[in-house]
A and B are shown apart, each in its own frame.
Chain A
Amino acid sequence: MSQLRKNFRELLRYPSAIAGLFIILILVGVSIYALIAIPYREAIRLWRGGEEIWYMNPKNVPPEWINLFRRNDLPASFLLDSQSEEENIHGTVVKEVTPLSEEMTEVKITFSFDYPYEDYPQELMLYLNGSYREKKPYVAITIITPDGRELRANELSIDEAETYRFSQDQRLQRRLRGLAPMVGIFSVPDTDPPVILQGTYQVVLTGFTFEEGSDFNARLVMHGKVAGWAGTDHRRRDLSVALLWGAPLALAFGLLAALGTTVTTMVISAVGVWFGGWVDELIQRITEVNLVLPFLPILIMIGTFYSKSIWLMLGATILLSIFGGSIKTYRAIFLQIKESPYIEAARAYGAGNFRIILLYLVPRIIPMLIPTLVTLIPTYVFLEASLAVLGLGDPVLPTWGKIINDAQANGALYMGQYYWVLEPAVLLMITGLAFALLGFALDRIFNPRLRGV
């Protein structure tokens, strides 16, 4: 234990190691947060749910904090729900129900939202839900601009689920004298080129229900030009889910692969050295064959022919990496250790072969293993990302590599949607750097040959 503490204290002398450790701790923290705040099932639902989950978000928009770097703020996206009567930073909803007669009721829903932006939104829409037995509710939609104008949009009867898009309303367009509704609604009237009108807008739904117990509710959704803290992709998914969940997945894959490979390699080379003879020769030959087997193409073959499940990939990766070049290094060290007197003593007292291997040979090499392990982790993190970019990632899980794959497949770099590629790339880079920094410092401590150099 004191040895561990001494090593740890020596580690802290390297500022790079401290930085690396710090970043790793943050990543672990984010992973734990992701696992708790968005449990697995919820994450899959958010990531693969389908249109019902994603309809709120605009397509392919950058994150909100981009507005910090821009002179003209891009409009944000938001949702106001009349059922919850919520108040968020974007606006408020008020619903008033006034019975007029025994059967008729007047329902008035007022959405008020602030519009301090300097660009037009992509789309503004209403999702209406009516509950009725035979007679559908009827509603008239009006927009009140900050300068007090009232724009009458369409009037419609509400089905159980009805979608109304302002930009597709012909009547509104006619009223706006031919301007596209998004431009027409949000501009100062009679300006050419159109000037944005900032202020508080109101969308008022004045409706009537014709049965007892009949009601309707609405959700106002604005598709701005920015959304969320991570932006959205081509299927309107919020990227923050994938960015958050990518952390535990990357860490888990990297750690499991690195651990599995190093431990197994260690044990195999110890076994080879201890038993000698044909076992040793066999391991050497297998290592040579493994050198010639092309690693990635074989993984690709397994991925395309069989299954892309991440467990299969993990297993195949470990299997192909066990007989790597490090077997020779360990072998050299084990050969030295094998001649030590205490091994001879163990043989004298009749210790079984595997007892000697596991209890005496292997522990001697563990200090050397630690820096190798840590430096190996980023290799596997990037391997998983590489597989995902190739299209062989796990089809269900949201990983960073998958985001890059989607971005690549949809031409993100050519369309100027840099955030789509940069966000996962930067995260990958940070993860790799953190482990590499830590691994280098550990290497300076644990590798005797590098001391003093």
Chain B
Amino acid sequence: MREEKQPQPALLERTLARKKVADTIKRIVKYSAVRLVTLFLTIIVAVFLTIIIANMGGYVDEIRRGEIRENYNQQAAMNPAIRNLPIEQRRQWVEERVRLEEERLGLNKPFLVRTVSYMTNALTLNLGRSLQLTSDSGSRSVRLILLERLPSTLVLFGTANIVLFFVELYVALYLSRRYGSFLDKLIIALAPLNSAPGWFYGIFLILIFAALLKILPFGGMVDTPPPSSPLPYALSLMKHMILPMLALGLSSAFLAIYSQRTFFLIYSSEDYVEMARAKGLTSRDIERRYILRPTLPTIITSFALGLITVWTGAPIFETVFQWPGLGKQLFQAIGLYDTPIILGETVIFSYLLAITVFLLDFIYALVDPRVKVGGQGSASS
């Protein structure tokens, strides 16, 4: 008898499970699509604002004009027919072409039209050429320069933040079980240390570990000369990431652990947790199902905001550690007044921020079943 009845409930269960998965996927896809479109609109507005801020003094126009003029001057120098003409005629030749080009590109049109054209350029990452800085291969295309630097930044910040996230989560869970213990009080006491940014601790850490104790490198991404085979390269990379990760941790971990642990404590005093304990579930089960699940959205939101704050400090952070990423590039560009790079970096940072927000909204949608399109709308409310 058992053999006959079993297939039916099993089949029903499987169908229900499949439907649940299909529903979840549909929900997530719809939500993600809407968020993507919204975020893209947001980026458009953000880049528009960026261009307006940059161009209020006419700097972007200047760059554009300068580029065109340089282009034609180069052409004149390379064209044998023009090169040998007397100076006046050469200049005339260049001027006429510059004028035509400017008209063609609409540089004589009103402010708004120009702004829109710069904006479309920026959005498609057509960022022009830099004034002085060059990429490793010698190109002056801003897009190439910045995209070359992007992986280094992502490696550093991505790894550091993911590692920190899991460490914080684990420690917070541990602490929520030991409320009032010494470690608990220690973390609370250390929390005010998080008011200082990462680069600040970076300076001290370099002083102690690199200058005084000489056990960790002063900075940079890998040893010089970089190891040629992948395993030593990876090890060298990890060795150089220790201090930056430590600095980031010192500047953000304690507060995060503190607030997460507080949330865990608040949620663990809920009725259903009591009931779960009465039912006899193990501590770990309770944590995973009843405490972690509801707090995850809030934790992820604060993690997202933390990430965004970290992006803000990137220029100085990377310069202190001499990490060859976007931030250090920005720092150099500021010193050289290399306008196209500064503008390009701002656009790229906008994109990075938007991608971060989108990724986190996506994870949020995965984790919190209450989130749906048109319901809550913005996930981080």
Q: Does A298 contact B (CB under 8 A)?
A: yes
Among the listed stretches A74-82, A236-244, A361-369, A425-433, which one makes contact with chain B, having 4 or more residues with CB under 8 Å of it? A425-433
Distance, CA A418 to CA B265, complexed state (A): 44
Could you say which of A16, A288, A294, A378 has the most chain B C-beta atoms within 10 Å of its C-beta? A294
Supposing A413-B207, A429-B200 touch, asked if A450 and B308 sit within 8 A by C-beta, the answer is no
In the assembled complex, B39 has its CB within 8 A of some CB on chain A: yes
Q: Within 8 Å of chain B (Cβ to Cβ): is A185?
A: no
Chain A, interface SS category: helix
B135 within 8 A of A: no
Q: List 30 A-B contacts (CB under 8 A).
A: A16-B192, A289-B46, A291-B353, A292-B39, A293-B46, A293-B353, A294-B312, A294-B349, A294-B350, A297-B315, A297-B330, A297-B345, A298-B50, A300-B334, A300-B342, A301-B53, A301-B342, A301-B343, A303-B334, A305-B59, A328-B380, A379-B195, A386-B316, A389-B199, A425-B200, A433-B192, A440-B191, A440-B192, A449-B266, A450-B262
Cβ B346 vs Cβ A328 within 8 A = no
- Given the complex of chains A and B, what is the CA–CA distance between A36 and B75 in angstroms? 63
A292–B42 touching, CB < 8 Å: yes
B106 at the interface (CB under 8 A from A): no
Interface size of B as a range: 35 or more
Whether a CB of chain A sits under 8 angstroms from the CB of B363 is no
| Contact residues, B77-127 vs A (CB, 8 A) | none
* B346 and A382 contact, CB distance less than 8 A: no
Q: A303 CA to B357 CA in the complex, in Å?
A: 27
Taking CB atoms, residues of chain A closer than 8 Å to B352 are 294
A304-B57 contact given A296-B312, A390-B331, A433-B192, CB 8 Å threshold? no
Instruction: List B16-62 residues whose CB lies under 8 Å from chain A.
Output: 38-39, 42-43, 45-46, 49-50, 53-54, 56-57, 59
- Range for the number of chain A residues in contact with chain B: 35 or more
In the complex, whether B337 has a CB less than 8 A from a CB of chain A is: yes
Contacts of B305 in A (CB 8 A): 325
- B297 located at the interface, meaning its Cβ lies under 8 Å from any Cβ of chain A in the complex: no
- Contact assessment for B346 and A294 in the assembled complex, using a CB-CB cutoff below 8 Å: yes
Q: Which of A277-315 contact B (CB under 8 A)?
A: 284-285, 288-289, 291-298, 300-306
**In whole angstroms, how far apart are the Cα atoms of A328 and B189 in the complex?**
29
A298 to B345, CA, bound (A): 10
Chain B nearest Cβ from A212, distance in angstroms: 59
Q: Determine if A425 and B203 form an interchain contact, defined as CB atoms under 8 angstroms apart.
A: yes
- The yes or no answer to A437 lying at the interface (CB within 8 A) is yes
Identify which of B50, B211, B313, B334 contacts A304 (C-beta below 8 A). Answer: B334
The answer to whether A436 touches B316 (Cβ under 8 A) is: no
For residue B194, CB closer than 8 A to chain A, the reply is: yes
Cβ of A421 within 8 Å of any chain B Cβ, yes or no, is yes
Please state if A301 and B50 are interface contacts (CB–CB under 8 Å).
yes
The answer to whether the Cβ of A392 comes within 8 Å of any Cβ in the partner chain is: yes
Within 8 A of B (CB), among A375-409: 375, 378-379, 382, 386, 389-392
Residues in B whose Cβ lies below 8 Å from that of A292 = 39, 42-43, 46, 350, 353-354, 357
Contact assessment for B350 and A429 in the assembled complex, using a CB-CB cutoff below 8 Å: no
Minimum-distance CB pairs A-B, first 6: A436-B192, A294-B349, A378-B195, A432-B195, A297-B346, A436-B195
| Interface presence of A115 (CB below 8 A) | no
The answer to the question of B165 belonging to the interface, with a C-beta cut-off of 8 Å to chain A, is: no
What residues of chain B lie closer than 8 Å to A328, measured between beta carbons?
380-381
A295 near B312 with CB under 8 A, answer: yes
Q: Bound state CA distance, A295 and B50, in angstroms?
A: 11
Q: How far is the CA of A413 from the CA of B209 in the complex (A)?
A: 13
Decide: B200 and A428 in contact? CB cutoff 8 A: yes
> Interface code B302-320, partner A: CB below 8 Å = 1, 0 otherwise?
0001001001111110000
Note all chain B residues with C-beta closer than 8 A to A389: 199, 316
Q: Does B252 contact A (CB under 8 A)?
A: no
In this assembly, does B247 line the interface, its C-beta being within 8 Å of a C-beta of chain A?
Answer: no
User: CB-CB contacts of B194-213 with A at 8 A, as 1s and 0s?
Assistant: 11110110011011000100
A432 vs chain B, min Cβ distance (A): 4
Q: Does the CB pair B196–A391 fall under 8 Å?
A: no
With contacts A293-B46, A433-B192 taken as known, whether A298 is within 8 angstroms of B346 at the C-beta atoms is: yes
- Chain A, Cβ-Cβ closest to B39: A292
Does chain B have a CB within 8 A of A435?
yes
B353 touches A288 (CB 8 A): no
B138 within 8 A of A: no
Shortest CB-to-CB span from A128 to chain B, Å, is: 42
Q: With the chains together, A400 CA to B303 CA distance in Å? A: 30
Contacts A293-B46, A328-B381 known; 16 new A-B pairs at CB < 8 A:
A16-B189, A291-B308, A293-B49, A298-B53, A304-B337, A305-B54, A331-B381, A378-B196, A382-B195, A386-B316, A390-B316, A421-B203, A425-B200, A436-B194, A436-B195, A449-B266
Known interface pairs A304-B342, A425-B203. Does A435 touch B195 (Cβ–Cβ under 8 Å)? yes
Q: Is the CB of A300 within 8 A of B330?
A: yes
Residue A1 at the B interface, CB < 8 A? no
A291:B357 contact, CB within 8 angstroms? yes
Say whether A453 faces chain B, with CB atoms less than 8 Å apart: yes
Q: Please give, as numbers and ranges, the residues of chain B lying within 8 Å of A291 by CB-CB distance.
A: 42, 308, 353, 357
Residues of B contacting A306 in the complex (Cβ-Cβ under 8 angstroms): 56-57
Given A16-B189, A289-B49, A425-B200, answer yes or no on A284-B378 (Cβ-Cβ < 8 Å).
yes
Contacts of B225 in A (CB 8 A): none
Q: Judging by beta carbons under 8 Å apart, are A428 and B196 in contact? A: yes
* A294-B39 Cα distance, complex, nearest whole Å: 14
Indicate if the CB atoms of B311 and A294 lie closer than 8 Å.
Answer: yes
Contacting pair A453 B192 (CB below 8 A): no
Within 8 A of A (CB), among B335-363: 335, 337, 339, 342-343, 345-346, 349-350, 352-354, 357
How near does chain B come to A311, taking the closest CB pair, in angstroms?
17
Contacts of B335 in A (CB 8 A): 391
B193 at the interface (CB under 8 A from A): yes
Is there contact, CB below 8 Å, between B197 and A382?
A: yes
Residues of B within 8 Å of A379, CB to CB, are 195
CA distance A374 to B335 in the complex (A): 33
Q: Which residues of B contact A295 (CB under 8 A)?
A: 312
Residues of A within 8 A of B316 (CB): 386, 389-390
Instruction: Kindly list chain B residues whose C-beta atoms are within 8 Å of the C-beta of A297.
Output: 315, 330, 342, 345-346, 349
Quick check: A437 and B192 within 8 Å, CB to CB? yes
The answer to whether residues A453 and B195 also contact, given A293-B350, A300-B330 and a CB cut-off of 8 A, is no
Report the nearest A residue to B43, measured CB to CB.
A292
Q: Name the one of B43, B203, B308, B346 contacting A301, with C-beta atoms under 8 angstroms.
A: B346
CB distance from B262 to the nearest CB of A (A): 6
Q: What distance in Å separates the Cβ of B377 from its nearest Cβ neighbour in chain A? A: 8
Contacts of A386 in B (CB 8 A): 197, 199, 313, 316
Shortest C-beta distance, B37 to chain A (Å), equals 12
B53 to chain A, nearest CB (A): 6
For the complex, what is the distance from the CA of A216 to the CA of B56, rounded to whole Å?
A: 59
In Å, the complex CA distance between A328 and B350 comes to 21
Per the bound structure, the CA–CA distance linking A386 and B380 in Å amounts to 29
Q: How far is the CA of A375 from the CA of B193 in the complex (A)?
A: 12
- A417–chain B nearest beta-carbon distance, Å: 12
Minimum C-beta distance from B233 to chain A (A): 26
Other-chain contact of B57, A284, A305, A429 (Cβ < 8 Å): A305
CB distance from B49 to the nearest CB of A (A): 7
Name B346's closest neighbour in chain A (CB-CB).
A297
Contacts of A284 in B (CB 8 A): 378
State which residues 252-266 of B face A: CB under 8 Å.
262, 265-266
